[in-house]
Amino acid sequence: MTKIQRVRSPTGAVFAEVAVSDRPQPLGDLRAVLAIRRLTRDADVVHPHGLRAGALTALGRRGPVVTLHNALTAGGFVGFVYGVLERIVARRAGRVLVVSPDLGERMTRLGARDVRAALVAAPAPQPAKRTPQEVKDELGAGERPLLLTVARLAQQKGLETLLDVAAGPWPGGSAGAPGQGSGGSGGVPLFVVAGEGPLREELQRRIDAERLPVRLLGNRDDVPDLLGAAVALVMPSRWEGQPLTLREALMTGTPAIASDVGGIPEILADAGILVPYGDVEGFRTAVRALLADVATAERLAAAAVRRGREMPGGDDVVESVLAVYRS
């Protein structure tokens, strides 16, 4: 039997670590199920987050409240396992909270009895510490417009679409024109990507080979500064739930051009431009429209500010979860 160590926090909460891996591990998963069963024997409510934690908890006891944060974007064996876990949650969870309407529809189709929308608190807005021009000077953008993407450099984020968009053509120049890949002025916007991940080398090779107007910035701690300097946030993701970066952009008055997937449409509303996932020309047209029409840019920026004020805060999220527990 695995010994479980409980740790009491200064607030009175008791923490007990249960190892839940991100890949199937039959023996480890069995240990986790048994540990969860022992730990939650006397609990009135059990609320795991994530599909694997939710499925293992549902195998250990019936009726947990499960919050699902992600959708499957891969196939093959991983997709098969994911589908099995989804069915366990759908059939054994008491309530399922989801971060996007499409997740809710899928769980309902799989037989979930009670599916509800999960609220996610917006991050507290942080003021920019530098002017937009200072940021652009650091990035070598000159007078060129800046388009920002904040993402892990991974398959889910659709960054191959971003590079296709950046390849142009653009009014006043081409992506591969001399001097347009990293600085100067002209009609070619500069796309900057904040974040790290397993696709960095692959993306950088293509950027260099095609001389694309894209800079990979790595991890940054000055996202508010970048948002303040950007014309728009560009989010070409394959899927998103309730992305915090999008919420942060809206709260700073930065409109977004984003894939019409997952929970993005519900968050963005009229504060940006939705494009079908993978529609390169659609993204490029949206960028051009924002750069060419000051009135459109100002309208979307004002809508972003309004939408940002409507984002739920921590108290809203706590009350919504307590309401689920009470029901």
Tell me whether the CATH fold assigned to 7-121+315-326 matches the one assigned to 132-309: yes
Q: HEC profile for the chain?
A: CCCCCEEECCCCCEEECCCCCCCCCHHHHHHHHHHHHHHCCCCCCCCCECHHHHHHHHHHCCCCEEEECCCCCCCHHHHHHHHHHHHHHHHHCCEEEECCHHHHHHHHHCCCCCEEECCCCCCCCCCCCCCHHHHHHHHCCCCCCEEEEECCCCHHHCHHHHHHHHCCCECCECCCCCCCCCCCCCCCCEEEEEECCCCHHHHHHHHHHHCCCEEEEECCCCHHHHHHHCCEEEECCCCCCCCHHHHHHHHCCCCEEEECCCCHHHHHCCCEEEECCCCHHHHHHHHHHHHHCHHHHHHHHHHHHHHHHCCCCHHHHHHHHHHHHHC
Q: CATH second-level architecture of 132-309? A: 3-Layer(aba) Sandwich (3.40)
Decide if pLDDT at 205 tops 60. yes
Residue 323, pLDDT above cutoff 90: yes
Which CATH number describes the domain made up of 7-121+315-326? 3.40.50.2000
Convert the pLDDT of each residue in 33-57 to its tens digit: 999 999 999 999 999 999 999 999 9
Tens digit of pLDDT for each residue in 166-202?
998 988 665 544 334 333 334 799 999 999 999 999 9
Task: Please check the confidence at residue 230 and state whether its pLDDT lies above 90.
Answer: yes
Report domain extents, the chain. 7-121+315-326, 132-309
pLDDT tens, 133-157? 999 999 999 999 999 999 999 999 9
Looking at the predicted structure, is the pLDDT value of residue 109 above 50? yes
Kindly report the pTM of this predicted structure: 0.87
pLDDT at 125 over 50: yes
Residue-wise pLDDT tens digits, 263-292: 999 999 999 999 999 999 999 999 999 999
